[in-house]
Amino acid sequence: MPLLELRDVRRAFRAPDGDDQLIVDVPSFDVDAGEQVAIAGTSGSGKTTFLNIIAGLLAPTSGEVVWDGEVVSGLGEAKRDAWRARELGYVFQTFNLLGGYTALENVTLGMMFGPGPDREFASSLLERLGLSDRMGHRPAQLSIGQQQRVALARALANRPRLVLADEPTGNLDPRYALEALGLLRDLCREQGAALICVSHDPRVLDDFGDALDFATLNRAMAQEPQGS
């Protein structure tokens, strides 16, 4: 049984002219436990919407998201929040670290709503990512590369079974992009977490070797150009 399964998932948005615009139309997609999947997609292709549906941040207009045999897309919002806090990690393109929190607090926040705070584990993650001397620093006091590593640590802080990475290297200097990707993939392997990484960066896609093409996955893209 796959860890994650999408069945005929569609998501439409109401356009200003009142018509519904279909952004995501994925008939089938699944990920096994511990599997690492790369999805190639251009900007505006709806891949962030796709990830948000998987994460439960957006409800599909129709279809089902099945997690470990259970339909999670039909859960109420509070239950989806709890599921996300427990099972998922999310790496954003812009990192989305909280400016008022230190690096350690940002990572602790990643486990706050799930398993509960574990400063020791949060510290060990930051040490693993080479930030042992930056734990008390706030994001503004860190380099872009360091911020990215804090974001990686936060995504893995709740020991998730699936990590979603949305253009994880998009904001990084080319020198650090592959290094950050390597760290993310290594950490997922170490923790046994599956990884879905969407990107349009050829280096990232090359690293995975057999990236899926989002245009093939998403039937909505075949109908008309969309914005995500």
Instruction: In angstroms, give the least distance from the CB of 108 to another protein.
Output: 8
User: Cβ closer to another protein: 83 or 128?
Assistant: 83
| Least Å from the CB of residue 89 to another protein | 9
Smaller CB distance to another protein: residue 62 or 216?
62
Q: Which is nearer to another protein, 63 or 207 (CB)?
A: 63
Per CB under 8 A, does 55 bind another protein? yes
Residues 133-172 that bind another protein (CB under 8 A): 154, 158
Q: Does 12 interact with another protein (rule: CB under 8 A)?
A: no
> If we measure between CA atoms, which residue out of 13, 69, 47, 35 comes closest to residue 217?
47
3 state SS for 70-137? EECCCCCHHHHHHHHHHHEEEECCCCCCCCCCCHHHHHHHHHHCCCCCCHHHHHHHHHHCCCCCCCCC
Give the CA radius of gyration of the chain.
17
Contact indicator for 151, 107 with CB cutoff of 8 Å: no
Please identify, using beta-carbon distances, which residue of 45 and 208 lies nearer to another protein: 45
Interface region with another protein, contact rule CB under 8 A, candidates 111-119, 127-135, 174-182, 198-206: 111-119
Quote the CA–CA distance of 8 and 199 in Å, as a whole number.
23
The amino acid at residue 84 is R
How far is Cα 107 from Cα 120, in angstroms, rounded to an integer? 11
Contact residues toward another protein (CB under 8 A) are 48-49, 52, 55, 57-58, 77-78, 81-82, 84-86, 88, 90, 92, 96, 98-101, 105, 108-110, 112-114, 116-117, 154, 158, 228
